[in-house]
Structure 1
Amino acid sequence: MQSGTRQKTVSRRGQPPAKRRRIEFGHPRPEDDVPTPQAQANAPSAAAFSERVLPPEHVPPLTTFCSRVFAENLQKLSSNEAKWENARWWLKHLPDSLAQKVFTVLRHTCPALLHHSVIVAYFLRGNSISLGDDLPGVSKLTIFAIGDHASRNLLEELELTGFAKIADQTFATVISKLPSLRKLNLRGCTKVGQQTADAVAKHCSQLEAVNFNYTAVLPASLASILLNCKQLKVLKAAGIPNWTDATYAKLWTALGVGFQLSNLRSLKLRQAALSDAAVNQTLAICPNLERLDLSFTLVKRPVLPTGNALEKLVLTSTKISSQDLLTMIAPLMRLKVLALGAMGGGQGSSAAISNTSAMTLTDDTLRSLTDILENCSDLERMNLVGNTKLGFTGRRGPDAPLAYFIRKVGRRCKHLNLAGITSLRSSDLEGLAHPDNVDEGSPNLQHLNLNNTSVDDTAAPYISACVDLQTLEVAGTKFTSAGLFPIIDACERLVKLDLTSCRGVRVGDRRRFFEVWEEEWKNR
């Protein structure tokens, strides 16, 4: 860090809310990185995150500054009738794309001021609408208004998430008025079921992506969608109760023999109580899958599509044997995302995951897996969270399986999750700073999760080699302030630290650690 410039620091109490952004269908979500089905729940309030805001690398456009200033002054403007009338006129005449930018900023800055009437009057327009339960002003009437707005026939993307109290009929009524819909996200709308599915099938023939995660849509309800929406590329059906082999069989009865999903590229069946019989029957009709999530299912020997086109594979907490796992992954040279958390845990039960004897990913398997993944040049995200048998044999040094993996594969990833591997030691991270080939340069890591491992301050020189690091999670480790200071010095892009339960850091400093570092730096 150059002495002439210091970054502005920001501390927050508790875990900061996740940055809300537009979610691309099929992309990894945060819950892919945790070993329990409760991933979607909020983190406990005792979490101690420290954050800072760095100067932007590029000057934001003027529209961004204007949107921020407007959001910061909305309360003042709305309290003055003359000024508010003028502001309403400008809001009404904003181009659709700019109106959506303003709406996004307002959602972050002052969601409580976005009443139903304001949302309906100024922000339900354009070809994309996104509303969530983070907006207290959204009601059933707001949802209904989507189906009545002037450009509803042109609406292509609709995201309505977390509305657990709104009835199935409400969503069905709105969707029946949206013939151009291509992307639909109803994640967390727990009452969405048969009526909504029927409306989608009947009125949205151009649909390309649908997210029914944490709804009540049963397998049989999908039949009409799969039959009528020929362009469907993304299907997400995670965390839906009563998805079993028996209920799944009704879907196949409705589809009939010879049915194919040749266009499907992304499939998510996370937390479904489905066995190999049901899952493999599905995979057999999806020859062109690129993204597959079978985490927390009952699969033991899934048969992947023969095209070997998978770029994302999530098998967290499944009971796939080590040999079957290696055989399955060996031909997948296009992998970008691989999640093998808590292998052997089975359905993600807390009891199973906390039981070391239940885990099946061993050091020998990891070494063989490393040799396979070394040839996957596009691998960006790797998740081994909760595999408590790794490093259990006590072998140390550069050839130990964990050290070998980090040196050969881990340092090439942008996201690496090693949380919960209790036998991971600081020495295993040496490969971050000392690769086999000096021409390899610095690690690509941007997000490193070492929560609840045995790393300590001696890992600081190795982590400091990750000059592109933006997020470092070391909750429950032996790190102290003295070990963290040089990491922040070296990693100038680091903006987020998780120091929950770090006993080497004073409790009062954990949420403001960047400020503590700033003070320490000035006193050197």
Structure 2
Amino acid sequence: MPPRTSKRQRAFGAPSEADSLSVQRDAPSSAASSTRPVPVTTVPSLATLCARKFAANFVSLRNNEPLWEHLSMQLHTVPDTIIPKIFSMLRSKCPTYLKHEIIVTYLLRGPVITLTDALPGVNKKTISDISRINAGVRELEISGFVKIADTSFASVLGNLKSLQVLVLRGCTNVGVNAIAAVAQSCPDLKVINLNYTSANPTSVAQLVNSCTRLECLKVAGIRNWTDATFTKFLEVVGQGNKLANLRTLKVRETQLGDASISALTNLCPNLQRLDASFTSLTRAASLLSPDHIQPLEKLSLTSTSISPLELAQILPLFPQLRVLYLGALGISRGSQASILNTSAMTMDGAGLKAITNALVNSVHLEQVNLVGNSKLGTTTRSDSALADFLGRVGRKCKMLNMAGIPNLRSTDLAGLLPESVRDDSPAIETFILNNTGIDDEAGVYISACDHLQTLAVAGTRITRDGLFPILDACEGLHNLDLTSCRGIGVIERRRFFDIWQEQKE
């Protein structure tokens, strides 16, 4: 009897090849999109090719101790400007193998550092080492760390005097101390993301007063941002002062209402991007300042109680508008109404007609999101507001999200077809139609979108008969979401491009 081959025992919970994200992506799943490689149009730089090769083989290289001893010395000689690229690739390929020692020894160099809670090896010591190893870092992201104290962040941020971009998203303990350290130590700060932290309006006001170059402020999902507490922000900023450099403002998922948002828009004469989704906003007039009209390029009002008819009256005032999100209008923050409750929605056919008329001359418009407006399409099918929108506005956009409109039918997509041979084909590159009422007839209309790259038809009645013509016509299509499409077999959903290719042959 041959001797039993010895096996090295792996400690319980120790990382293995199965932890690799690339392995997880290849695991069977009926919920995954079907994808195919994107044609290469440019040649990557030699540095990029080398970084990809290193990241793809990092696990085996690290486990080969004699080889790693040599490679680790070479890694120290890699220029600082390339380290962030290598770190990014390693985070994607093998995050569980990036221990604290590896990160602080080799990867905390360069102008950009990104640490997220997807890296198990990052701990309090890793973050505290940033100021010791790379005090000159210009862009820093530390996101998702809910157990690290406010004072710990403050001790690090107080020593990073060259910061221009700071992301602390999801670090729920970040508060007065950390923000005070930034206000005192980072005069060149241009971007700060405090989403889902504990930053109060008073401390943020002190920060914007100190960091006069600030261009982007994000305070989404902070519970203590209410109309009552926001008065403290206005008091600290000071009456008559303007945040003239601020271009991007995100107050999504806060409890701010019309008065507060109106005061904010008045403070920011050069505002270009505003996200007030899931707030208590109800009046379109709150978006206007009596002193100026902001050069808005992006406006997100998803899940607010704003009236589409009122909004249509002010949209022509923003001729530079590129992005407009109007999902689930009528289901505002704090509302007891469910998104499935059609009667609570404010976006109906008349509202969409008005919005369409307001946007028809918006030559810069690229993205429109109407997700979840379930009242659309519930009235008479003649002279459909959805078809009118797609024909006059939607076909000019690069991204359209019309998911969650159950009464959107295939015939509503007829507006995608050119009215004459002189008309251009639709500009749509990303088309989201999940959980709508479309079927195979939609394939005729979607096939007209010859720039299409991503198509999501999850939860629809479309089958092979509707999809094959789309794949035949749209050569650039490389991402296809078929989740819960009952007309497509579960096993086929992930490999639909292969099935289409086999059918052609």
TM-score by structure 1 length?
0.88
Q: Secondary structure at the match of 2:47?
A: helix
Who is 1:488 aligned against? 471
The AA in structure 1 aligned to 2:100 is H
* Separation of aligned partners in 1, 2:153 and 2:161: 14
CA distance in 2, matches of 1:72, 1:323: 53
- 5+ unaligned residues in a row in structure 2: which ranges? 1-21
Q: 1-side partners of 2:294 and 2:33: how far apart?
A: 39
- CA deviation vs aligned residue, 1:103-158 (integer Å, no higher than 9, x gap): 22211111222111111111111222111122111111110111111x41x32111
1:298 is aligned to 2:280: yes
Q: Which residue of 1 aligns with 2:111?
A: 127
Task: Check the 8 A contact 1:68/1:105 in 2, yes or no.
Answer: yes
Report whether the alignment pairs 1:114 with 2:112: no
Separation (CA, whole Å) in 2 of partners of 1:103 and 1:15? 20
- The question of whether the paired residues in 1 share the 8 Å contact of 2:165 and 2:192 is answered with yes
Q: What residue number does 1:321 align with?
A: 307
- Change over 3 Å in CA distance of 1:346–1:495 after alignment to 2: same
Aligned residue among 479, 483, 492 for 2:462 = 479
In structure 2, distance between residues paired with 1:507 and 1:148: 52
Q: Secondary structure at the match of 1:352?
A: coil
User: Which residue is equivalent to 2:171?
Assistant: 189
**Compared CA separation, residues 160 and 412, structure 1 to 2 (3 A):** same
Select the residue among 431, 454, 461 that pairs with 2:444.
461
Q: 1:70-111 CA distances to partner (integer Å, 9 max, x unpaired)?
A: 122222222222211111111100111222222222111112
**CA distance 1:394–1:270, change in 2 (3 Å):** same
Distance 1:379 1:435 in 2: 19
Q: 1:516 aligns with which of 492, 499, 503?
A: 499
**After the TM superposition, which of the residue ranges 313-322 and 53-62 deviates more from structure 2?**
53-62
Q: Where does residue 73 of structure 2 map in the other structure? A: 89
Residue number among 327, 330, 335 corresponding to 1:344 in the alignment: 330
Distance change >3 Å, CA 14–CA 357, structure 1 → 2: farther
Please state whether the residue corresponding to 1:264 is helix, strand or coil. Answer: coil
1:128–1:158 CA contact under 8 A, matched in 2: yes
Contact persistence 1:15–1:47 (CA under 8 A):
no
Matched residue SS, 2:299: strand
Are the counterparts in 2 of residues 313 and 337 from structure 1 also a CA contact under 8 Å? Answer: yes
Distance apart, 1:353 and its partner CA: 1.4
Q: 1:179 to 1:296 in 2, by over 3 A?
A: same
Describe the shift of the 1:307–1:484 C-alpha distance in structure 2 as closer, same or farther (beyond 3 A): same
Distance (whole Å) between structure 1 residues aligned to residue 107 and residue 335 of structure 2: 42
Aligned pair count reads: 479
Q: Structure 1 residues 16, 406: CA separation in 2 closer, same or farther (over 3 Å shift)?
A: farther
> What SS class does the counterpart of residue 441 from structure 2 fall into?
helix
* Residue matched to 1:272: 254
Aligned pairs for 1:185-334 within 5 A: 185-301=167-283, 302-305=286-289, 306-334=292-320
Shift of 1:15: 8.0
Match of 1:390 among 376, 401, 408: 376
Please identify the structure whose Cα radius of gyration is greater. 2
Distance 1:13 1:519 in 2: 25
In 1, distance between residues paired with 2:37 and 2:80?
Answer: 29
- Percent identity, aligned pairs only, is 49
| Structure 2 counterpart of 1:36 | none
Give the C-alpha shift of residue 204 in structure 1. 0.8
Residue in structure 2 matching 1:421, options 401, 405, 409 = 405
- What is the TM-score when the length of structure 2 is the normalising length? 0.91
Residue 16 of structure 1: how far off its partner (Å) = 8.9
Q: Is the 8 A contact 1:186 1:213 kept in 2?
A: yes
The one-letter code matched in structure 2 to 1:498 is D
Partner of 2:145: 163
Structure 1: which 5+ runs fail to align? 1-11, 18-44
Deviation at 1:64, TM superposition (A): 2.3
Structure 2 counterpart of 1:507: 490
What residue is the counterpart of 1:441 in the other structure?
424
**Which stretch shifts more, 351-360 or 434-443?**
434-443
Matched with 2:5 is: none
Could you say if the C-alpha distance between residues 62 and 14 of structure 1 is closer, same or farther in structure 2, counting changes exceeding 3 Å?
closer
Structure 1 stretches of 4+ moved >3 Å: 12-17, 348-351
With over 3 angstroms needed to count, the CA separation of the structure-2 counterparts of 1:350 and 1:105, relative to structure 1, is: farther
